[in-house]
Structure 1
Amino acid sequence: MPIWRKRKRSGRQFAPFDRARLPEPEPLTFEESYAEGLLVAESAARMALKNRIIVMALRGDEPFDADRAAAAAREVLHELVQEMDEVAEWSAHEREEATQREGRARHQHDYHRTDSWNLRLRERVNEAVAQRLTELRADPEYLADFAERARQDAWSEIADVIEQRLAREWPEIEIDDAYVRERDERMREVSLDLERELREVVRRREERDELDDTFGAW
């Protein structure tokens, strides 16, 4: 029968945690911030274009047209450029105001002198990303690829909604003369139902994006 011995407690004392002794995090470089900002901006623009393609597909009788999609892509990118220019101007204004404030911030948007460097970085990044998006708006090859990726995203979302609906409501269908006569009306009702469901999907996704606010950090 084993004999358990009580282990003696070590007399070693651990020092209390001192946050001040942690190494300072390396600040983001302009190149890193620019690369990430451009990636986030393109993702936001593609999502906006995808939503427009879904609406056009459900409301219009015309088939998908690459030229119209490219024109919509230019419009989406233009709106994003305007937004980023506004953020850059806001950052410049806040930086000027922050240089006059000392002390500690009371909340995340209460900028002080110590925040001047970050505000200047945000200003530069937004200006650079806006300039790059302006250049891409004039590139037909980029717009064609951008629109095609948004179209694929739109079709994937529509297909998901259709699959969910079929899995939920797939009936036993008897193909007869009445079924053929009423097919157009049923398809119209299905289209209306899909539009409502897709709008709800888009609404929920936009709410999640607002809560995450990834793009707002720039």
Structure 2
Amino acid sequence: MFGWFTRRRGRRFKPFDRDALPEVVPPPFEDMVDEGVMLAESAGRMRLKNRFIVQFLRGDEAWDDARAAVAAGEVLESLVQESDEAAELSAENRELASNRDGRSEHQHDYHRADALNLRRREKVYAAIAKQLWRKRADPDYLVDFATRSRDAAWEEIAEVIEQRLDREWPDIPIDAEYELARPERMRELAEDLELAMRRADQKREAQNPFADYWG
């Protein structure tokens, strides 16, 4: 046994050869753009949903398709700006990488060999921004975008209300004191919703397959 162990320890292993790794073939350009747009739309609906939740809790104004479409347009405009900024950052990294030889030591340590991939990334982000800007100019799309965000907001509010009712309904007396305590209940509901939104955002971020692709 000990002789076998000694022989095992004495074996020489070949050094790691990075060039022997199989070539990583990037997905088609169109697929990358479609995935980026899909991710941007998902992030945008989440932002708009959170905005609607705040408006619902304040009770400032009734739902209006026109105002909701304007809000959707604002969210999409912010996504376009973020995509443009990501394209500019990729271009800046490409310029820096083109003057650096050697191998990358970590994900964002770019060198000359990364220039082609950074140029591809720059073009993808620019194409994403272009598609989002085109969608922003479509009134029907904006209404649909806002409606889906509104429905998601109501679902989240309803879930939190149901949870509170399950906990508290047996002990709620419906009387004048109950009505006077309405502002406090709304404040507590808002706190519950804020916590629920944070947990949902953290869960979505942990499960996001494009976490390293977008941003």
TM-score over 0.5 (shorter chain): yes
State the partner residue of 2:138. Answer: 139
State the partner residue of 1:184. Answer: 179
3-state SS of the aligned residue for 1:42? Answer: helix
Q: How many residue pairs are counted as aligned between the two chains?
A: 200
Normalising by the residue count of structure 1, what TM-score does the alignment of the two structures yield?
0.82
Task: Name structure 2 gaps, 5 residues minimum.
Answer: 1-13
3-state SS of the aligned residue for 1:217? Answer: coil
Task: Name structure 1 gaps, 5 residues minimum.
Answer: 1-15
**Aligned partners of 2:130, 2:56: CA distance in 1, in Å?**
31
Mapping of residues 80-91 of structure 1, within 5 Å: 80-91=79-90
Give 1:24 deviation, angstroms.
2.9
Q: Deviations over 1:160-215 (max 9, x none)?
A: 1111111222224555xxx1x33432332221111111112223344455666745
**Aligned partners of 1:73, 1:86: CA distance in 2, in Å?**
20
Q: 2:194 aligns with which of 196, 199, 212?
A: 199
Answering whether residue 113 of structure 2 is matched by residue 114 of structure 1, we say yes
Give the fraction of aligned pairs with identical amino acids, expressed as a percent: 53
For the 8 Å contact 2:205–2:211, the answer to whether it is kept is no
Give 1:100 deviation, angstroms.
1.1
Query: Which amino acid in the other structure matches residue 201 of structure 1?
Result: A
State the partner residue of 1:165. Answer: 164
Normalising by the residue count of structure 2, what TM-score does the alignment of the two structures yield?
0.83
**Aligned partners of 1:84, 1:57: CA distance in 2, in Å?**
30
Mapping of residues 63-82 of structure 1, within 5 Å: 63-82=62-81
Query: Which amino acid in the other structure matches residue 39 of structure 2?
Result: V
Q: Deviations over 1:105-156 (max 9, x none)?
A: 1211101111112211211111111111111111110000000000011011
**Aligned partners of 1:93, 1:116: CA distance in 2, in Å?**
10
Query: Which amino acid in the other structure matches residue 106 of structure 2?
Result: H
State the partner residue of 1:149. Answer: 148
Larger Rg: 1
Tell me how large the CA RMSD over aligned residues is: 2.5
